[in-house]
Amino acid sequence: MEKTEPSVISEFPLSIQSAKNLIRDLSENHSTRIKFSKHARERLLERDITLTQVFSVLSSRSSRFFEQPWLTPSGDWAMSLEGIAAGDSIRIPLVLKRLESDPSVLIITVIGL
């Protein structure tokens, strides 16, 4: 059976494990729900980081949180994920949006470490 919709999360506060599982699911099975801010797209080019590397960090089980999930004033969950892709250490500040109904990820920027 193919999974057509991503999992929704209704827990509060959002746990690290739930956030990581949702980010991994979205990056592996629902990549159209991963959006990049204009700033993130500019930094990808400037820092010579590829989309493949970003998706690798998002889906990797060995990636870790640099900043744990915290609730924004708009009700979304912001965090920073770090990992290694193609030999480069990368930090990805991101926001999980609409967890209860239609989850997606907004990549704020990408940082090569």
CB 77 within 8 A of CB 69: yes
Q: Give the model's pLDDT for residue 100.
A: 87
Domains and CATH numbers, the chain: 16-112 (3.30.2310)
Mean pLDDT by 10 residues, the chain (113 residues): 72 94 96 97 97 98 96 96 97 95 96 95
Listed in order, strand segments (DSSP E) in 8-103 are 34-36, 64-71, 77-85, 88-97
With CA atoms as reference, report the closest residue to 107 among 55, 62, 59.
Answer: 55
Strands 104-107, 88-97: parallel, antiparallel or unpaired by DSSP? antiparallel
What pTM, to 2 d.p., does this model score?
0.92
- What pLDDT score does 67 carry? 96
Q: What share of the chain is helix, strand, coil (3-state, %, to 5)?
A: 30, 30, 35
Beta bridge partners of 103: none
Structure tokens of 55? 């998706």
Rg (CA), the chain: 13
